[in-house]
Amino acid sequence: MKVLVDTSVCSLAFRRKEESAIAKRLADLIFASLVVMIGPVRQEILSGISDVAVFNRLRQILEAYDDLPITTCDYVTAAQFYNICRKNGIQGSHIDFLICAVAHNNDLLVYTTDKDFNHYAKYLPVRIL
């Protein structure tokens, strides 16, 4: 099954020098051609990098991945997911709910270290790796 990788995983894998279990798992997923990227995650990964050389190196690494198209249905689903969670007292970012929606609508797992996704999964049909 294909995996939509969240920013939290990429940040740990690409910005740290030491090998971690998270980075190893990401490498295994990449090697198996199971990783899916969306534009908002690409934007989050690249945002905040002030060193131009590091930004360009990371941008080049990410160019290996085409962005999965995000549809109007995905945005509507993300809004529905936001409303469901908000009704149940759970706050989240619009990008998090878009990740959940794209993953749900495309039958993808979400690979994340962000604990907020565990809260979303209590109310949303999102599967976390």
Residue 44 pLDDT greater than 80, yes or no: yes
Burial zone of 26 (CB within 10 Å; 0-12 exposed, 13-18 middle, 19+ buried): buried
Mean pLDDT score, 36-58: 92
pLDDT digits (tens, 9 = 90+) for 97-125: 999 999 999 999 999 999 999 999 999 99
Contact between 66 and 28 under an 8 Å Cβ cutoff? The reply is no
Q: Please give the angle made by the CA atoms of 121, 6 and 124, to the nearest 5 degrees.
A: 15
d(CA 40, CA 24): 23
Burial zone of 83 (CB within 10 Å; 0-12 exposed, 13-18 middle, 19+ buried): exposed
